[in-house]
Structure 1
Amino acid sequence: MPSLLHAALLACAAIAGLTSAEVLQPQVTTSLGTLVGSVQQTVKGRNFYAFQGVPYAKPPVGKHRFKQSVPIGPWTGVYNATRVPNMCIQESNPIFAPHNPLDSLGVEDCLYLNVFTPKLPSEQADGKLLDVIVYIHGGAFKVGAGNIWGPLILLDRDVILVTFNYRLGVMGFLSLEDNLVPGNNGLKDQTLALQWVQKYISSFGGDPTKVTIAGMSAGGASVHYHMLSPSSAGLFKKAISNSGSPLNPWAITKNPRATALSFAKALGCPINDTLLTLRCLRERPAEHVIGAVAIMTGGDILTLPFLPVVEPPGPNAFIDEHPIDLIEAKGFNDVPALFSYCDDEGSIFSLNTYLDEKKLEAVESNWDVVIPQANLFDVDPVKGKEIAQQIRKRFLGDKPLKDSAREYSQMFGERMFVDGIQKAAILHAEHQTSPVYSYRFSFVGPTKFNMLEAAFDGLGYKGGASHGSDNSYLFNALYLKPIKDFPELMGMAETMTDIWMKFIAEDPVSGWSSVKSGLPKITFLDVKSSNPSENLWKTEETVGQQFWDSLNLPQANSETTQNDQHSEL
């Protein structure tokens, strides 16, 4: 029976027109312990429950640095899940911390997740549990945090959203290509978060048998990696991979051992004995480790030396073969998949060149050197010059670079994103039983909405939808202005949410055309309008696949370049 105080509070709430949830903090009890959360509101004013900063792993500090994470144990008392967790330690960047004077952000003790639910089990009269979306944040496997992408749009629907942090950069992806430091700890953190969801999400009203993993950019590549990893088997039922795939040239490390040893040497650590190297790296303050990465990359936040790797075979390997080989050998988790990309993926990376006249002139005058580096292929200089000229002919023709901003953007977009994403969709359609779908997002919103685009306002650039911009209509994000301040965009938020929820709810999806139906061409939904009737299914030739394949560029593996250069956030 409720206490007299409880009853009095509810009576006061009723008089004030408030719900009990707005007065009393929600509580959830799991086998780990009890958590207290908070009540928040969506953009449309719907109340939902937020449980933030929930630990899913023991802190990866001290002797646990550079090791695979392990599950958290039970806690005593009531856990306060009302605070945004610290992000994982990473290099400082102007997007997430524009005024930070330090070289790093965040802390090592960072493996926490957030659960957002519109209904707790006690409110489900029929006992029905809700679908769950586990969203993996992007950031080039180098920056970002789970709380950067929020629930204020999706939670207008009856779906649970889980976001989380995972180790980034050198802390999450250092690899010595041996059994001591095989690599991929950041991806293994993600797997542990998915295991947590399987064990405990029902306590929050979620159905562990109806988990969809989703992510954008590095998060999209992560989703695809989980489709390929045996350690992720059974942890999800569907997958949504936006603007990223392991088949993109930036999403897998090249020559990880040499990179790791070069890094250790820069920190003054021995490099002739792996155990001594590891011990030394663990003794260095975390801020010094991150600072050494900045020195190694020349302070360029867009240079990526530490990324996922193909691990040595072993019982704990996340993947031990190249992604293409795993797909073709059907060595993957066969689940319904939705791959997507935007029609102007390259703009927010390529247009920086046009903001600096000297940089633009430098690219123009050194095209044969700059373009091989920027396009992530490692060949001898003579071959590199030949390839650079082929790329120029395809995209620029006889036009000078200064008059070719759209074409330059398309070059980056094709090479860095679209080619690999389309390959992934087609290969899975060819080799798996579950349906594979795709969409292209081509709706262009106002530049004032997206901070990543606003910097290019003065260029007069007329392009398409920039990298990952479909997610801007599914999540509130730190680099976006509040969508409610742009009433004209609310319709697109409805349309994108409808697309995701339809994919999640149906198998196969009624009225949708699968990628398999149009092979060898690519079949996709062209999302260009908030009016669903204007978004049509198309079957077209792949974008540039024949061209990029004809260049015979080396695949990302342990026999190519030491450092990756990629401008994905």
Structure 2
Amino acid sequence: MILVNKCNFNFISLLNHLSTIFRLGPYGFMCLDTPEVPGNQGLKDQRLALRWIKNNIAAFGGDVNKITLVGESAGSVSTEFQLLANQEKLFNQVILQSGTVFGPWAVSTPDLTAPLKLAARLGFDTEDVDEAVAFLATADSNLVIGASTALWLGFGPCLEKKFDGVESILTEHPIDSDMVNVKNTNIMAGYTNKEQLMSFATRPPSGFENLNVFSTIRGSFVIDDDFQAVEDIVRRFYIGDEPVTEALRWNLMNFESDWFFNYPTQWTIDNYLEKGAGDIYYYVFSYSGQRNFVKSRFNVTVEGAAHADELGYQFDQAFVTGAPTADDQRVIDQMTTLWANFVKHGDPTPTTTELLPVKWSLVTKTTYTYLDLDNPLTVKRRPYSDRLTFLQLFFKANWHRLRAVN
């Protein structure tokens, strides 16, 4: 989503559902390390849309110097990739909701044999990747997508090789990025207080048998003979020496929430502080109401907010029937006002009001504050400090093992 401040009459124009104008799946993110299919075609489509807006928004009454790019989950990661791209700067502010480029799922390892697998699934057998690509280019796109789904092939942003005459957008891992466009960019970033709630609230007791959530750590590190001891350190921090059972459901949820969302967001904020970003605002969405997007869809009644639950208070949800409760309506009014204020002013609380009675303080190196988006709104310091400080120390101690820096 792109939010553009229409300064003449304080109107926010939303170019929503950016996914409708960029390629997805094998068409958007097949990466073959060749000039013809370098990867990240979807991100490049997004950049074309952003260039169009930058070049044309003034004709619609918008301010070319007040463009805010917003995303949630994978959309948040796309937003941040656009910010980190070593190209021209096309927007002035970003809002990152539950997803950052430092998440272990943000950068994919490409399957260079994907065209062979897709072509074979559709009845064309070859060992030549170029032949397979040529075949897929003429095949029905619905069949190609169907084959990709049936084969469980995942396509996402990859690290591109540089080729003369070919535009690239992601050629180095975010860990290694200079982040030149981050300087003076205003940032709003956060997540929900129970990101992985759905994964564990709906898991039956049998689903905990032989479950090892901590093995996911291995995807981020180069494995050596001593790595099991490294993995065990994390395991002991979250569950001690206890065997994995249903009784540890919420401890395991905390780990996965921290690993995939919470700590990566803190990591991103720390990097932006070092790289000279503008004003940074940090939030945690904790509110539990009738319009929590995901919980409402799956009738989960556990307190707290799951991944994407905040969307029910930012956008109308067709599956929610009836008028919002008074509390839900207040959260709707608060969130939409906070987000609109950030877009218009670069400050979500330029003044305190009855609706927004607290001042949302900036994050600094010495005052790591955040806004707890609950009823009531409260300003606090360092969410999940013990857990996220542990992970910060863990990554520093094992920096030499990280795949991106080896």
TM-score by length of 2: 0.82
Deviation at 1:307, TM superposition (A): 0.6
CA contact (8 A) 2:284 2:370 kept: yes
Instruction: Determine which structure has the larger strand proportion and give its number.
Output: 1
- Alignment partner, residue 316 of structure 2: 476
User: How many angstroms apart in 2 are the aligned matches of 1:206 and 1:262?
Assistant: 47
Letter in 2 for 1:208: V
- Alignment partner, residue 312 of structure 1: 161
Instruction: Determine which structure has the larger helix proportion and give its number.
Output: 2
- Alignment partner, residue 88 of structure 1: none
Letter in 1 for 2:28: G
* 1:86-125 matches, cutoff 5 A: none
- Alignment partner, residue 518 of structure 1: 366
RMSD across aligned positions (CA) = 3.4
- Alignment partner, residue 197 of structure 2: 347
Change in CA separation of 1:260 and 1:350 when aligned onto 2, cut-off 3 Å:
farther
- Alignment partner, residue 506 of structure 1: 345
Change in CA separation of 1:434 and 1:378 when aligned onto 2, cut-off 3 Å:
closer
- Alignment partner, residue 30 of structure 1: none
CA contact (8 A) 1:130 1:206 kept: no
Partner of 1:319, secondary structure, is coil
1:372 aligns with 2:227: no
Change in CA separation of 1:400 and 1:174 when aligned onto 2, cut-off 3 Å:
closer
- Alignment partner, residue 496 of structure 1: 335
Q: Which of the numbers 281, 286, 289 marks the counterpart of 1:437?
A: 281
Counting matched residue pairs gives 386
- Alignment partner, residue 563 of structure 1: none
Deviation at 1:285, TM superposition (A): 1.8
Letter in 1 for 2:97: N
Structure whose alpha-carbon radius of gyration is higher = 1
- Alignment partner, residue 355 of structure 2: none
In structure 2, the gaps of 5 or more residues are 351-358
Deviation at 1:267, TM superposition (A): 4.7
* 1:395-406 matches, cutoff 5 A: 395-397=238-240, 398=242, 400-406=244-250
User: How many angstroms apart in 1 are the aligned matches of 2:401 and 2:113?
Assistant: 18
Change in CA separation of 1:213 and 1:423 when aligned onto 2, cut-off 3 Å:
same
1:358 aligns with 2:206: yes
1:422 aligns with 2:266: yes
- Alignment partner, residue 391 of structure 1: 234
CA offset digits 1:324-368 (Å, max 9, x no partner): 211xx24334311111111111112333433xx4333242xxx3x
- Alignment partner, residue 72 of structure 2: 216
1:546 aligns with 2:392: yes
Q: Kindly, what percent of the aligned residue pairs are identical? A: 24
Partner of 2:181, secondary structure, is coil
- Alignment partner, residue 466 of structure 1: 306
Q: Which of the numbers 328, 335, 338 marks the counterpart of 2:188?
A: 338
CA contact (8 A) 1:130 1:160 kept: no
- Alignment partner, residue 140 of structure 1: none
User: How many angstroms apart in 2 are the aligned matches of 1:279 and 1:185?
Assistant: 17
Deviation at 1:186, TM superposition (A): 1.2
Partner of 2:282, secondary structure, is strand
Change in CA separation of 1:548 and 1:342 when aligned onto 2, cut-off 3 Å:
farther
CA offset digits 1:232-269 (Å, max 9, x no partner): x3321111111001110111111443555555555555
Partner of 2:49, secondary structure, is helix
Partner of 1:337, secondary structure, is strand
User: How many angstroms apart in 2 are the aligned matches of 1:271 and 1:437?
Assistant: 52
* 1:283-302 matches, cutoff 5 A: 283-297=138-152
Q: Which of the numbers 163, 176, 181 marks the counterpart of 2:37?
A: 181
- Alignment partner, residue 68 of structure 1: none
Partner of 2:381, secondary structure, is strand
Deviation at 1:380, TM superposition (A): 5.3
CA offset digits 1:390-417 (Å, max 9, x no partner): 3332222326421122111111101111
Letter in 1 for 2:239: L
Partner of 1:491, secondary structure, is helix
